[in-house]
Amino acid sequence: MSGYSAGEKLKIALLAVALGGLFGGLLLAYGIDRPELATTVWALGVGPVLVALLVEILHSLRRGEVGLDIVAALSMSAALLFGETLAAAVVAVMYSGGTFLESFAEGRARREMRDLLARVPRTATRHINGALEDVPLDAVAPGDRLLIRQGDVVPVDGTVGSSVAFLDTSALTGESLPVRVEEGGDAMSGSTNAGEAFDLLATRPAADSTYAGIVRLVEQAQASKAPMSRLADRWSLAFLLVTVAIAFSAWWVTGDPIRAVAVLVVATPCPLILAVPVALVAGLSRAAHHGVLIKGAGPLEAMARARTLILDKTGTLTDGRPKIVSASTYGGMVEDDVLRLAAALEQATKHPVAQAIVQEARERGLALPIPTEVTETPGEGLVGRVDDRSVVVGGHRFVSDQLGRTLMGHPALGAGSVLVAVGIDGRIAGHFVMADPLRDDSLGMLSGLRRQGIERILLATGDRRDVAKRITEGLGLDGIRADLSPNEKVLLVLTERKHGPVMMVGDGVNDAPALAAADIGVAMGARGAAASAEAADVVLLVDSVDRLRAGVEIARGARRIALQSVVVGIGLSVIGMIAAALGYLSPVQGALIQEAIDVAVILNALRALRIEPAPADPDHPSLRSSKEGMGRFG
Please give the tally of structural domains in the chain: 3
Question: What CATH number does the domain containing 155 carry?
Answer: 2.70.150.10
What is the SS3 assignment for 576?
Answer: helix
What is the SS3 assignment for 76?
Answer: helix
Say which range, 99-103, 388-392, 578-582, has the weakest mean pLDDT.
99-103
Identify the active-site residue in 312, 319, 436, 463: 312
Q: How far apart are CA 146 and CA 134, in angstroms?
A: 10
Kindly state the average pLDDT of the residues 43-63: 81
Is 134 among the catalytic positions?
no
- 310 with 397, same domain? no
Residue 545's closest CA among 464, 475, 598, 624?
A: 475
- 453 with 311, same domain? yes
- Residue 89 located in a structural domain: no
- 373 with 306, same domain? no
Other Cβ atoms within 10 Å of 609 Cβ, number: 21
Question: What CATH number does the domain containing 537 carry?
Answer: 3.40.50.1000
H/E stretch holding 403 reads helix 396-403
Q: How far apart are CA 186 and CA 196, in angstroms?
A: 17
Compute the mean pLDDT over every residue in the chain, rounded to the nearest whole number: 77
Percent of the chain scoring above 70 in pLDDT: 80
- Residue 582 located in a structural domain: no
Alpha helix (H) ranges present in 200-296? 210-222, 227-254, 257-266, 272-289
Instruction: Let me know: does 361 contact 314? Beta carbons within 8 Å.
Output: no
Burial of 33 (0-12, 13-18, 19+ CB in 10 A): exposed
- 463 with 430, same domain? no
Instruction: Let me know: does 295 contact 224? Beta carbons within 8 Å.
Output: yes
Kindly state the average pLDDT of the residues 257-271: 76
- Residue 510 located in a structural domain: yes
- 300 with 401, same domain? no
pLDDT digits (tens, 9 = 90+) for 396-406: 888 888 888 77
- 377 with 471, same domain? no
Structure confidence at residue 556 as a pLDDT band (50, 70, 90): very high
The rounded Cα 496 to chain-centroid distance in angstroms is: 24
Residue 214's closest CA among 288, 110, 141?
A: 288
- At which of 394, 416, 435 does a domain end? 435
pLDDT digits (tens, 9 = 90+) for 117-157: 555 677 888 998 888 888 888 888 888 999 998 888 888 88
Residue 215's closest CA among 192, 177, 189?
A: 189
User: Residue 360: what are its φ and ψ, rounded to 5°?
Assistant: -60, -40
What is the SS3 assignment for 149?
Answer: coil
- Residue 474 located in a structural domain: yes
- At which of 189, 204, 219 does a domain end? 204
pLDDT at position 390 is 92
Kindly state the average pLDDT of the residues 476-503: 83
pLDDT digits (tens, 9 = 90+) for 405-421: 776 666 666 656 778 88
Residue 306's closest CA among 42, 594, 518, 145?
A: 518
- Residue 402 located in a structural domain: yes
- 457 with 510, same domain? yes
pLDDT at position 194 is 81
Alpha helix (H) ranges present in 509-546? 512-517, 530-535
- 419 with 503, same domain? no
- 405 with 458, same domain? no
- At which of 551, 586, 608 does a domain end? 551
Sheet with 164-168, side-by-side order of all strands: 179-182, 164-168, 192-193
pLDDT digits (tens, 9 = 90+) for 266-291: 876 555 566 777 788 788 878 887 88
- Residue 399 located in a structural domain: yes
481 CB-near residues (< 8 Å, 6+ apart): 458, 459, 460, 461, 488, 492
- 458 with 533, same domain? yes
What is the SS3 assignment for 361?
Answer: helix
pLDDT at position 414 is 63
Q: How far apart are CA 327 and CA 100, in angstroms?
A: 65
Burial of 332 (0-12, 13-18, 19+ CB in 10 A): exposed
- 396 with 465, same domain? no
- 305 with 378, same domain? no
Residue 158 lies in domain: 141-204
- Residue 350 located in a structural domain: yes
Other Cβ atoms within 10 Å of 51 Cβ, number: 11
595 pLDDT exceeds 70? yes
- Residue 295 located in a structural domain: yes
Helix 547-581 vs helix 297-305: angle between axes, to the nearest 10 degrees?
Answer: 100
Kindly state the average pLDDT of the residues 500-516: 77
Question: What CATH number does the domain containing 353 carry?
Answer: 3.40.1110.10
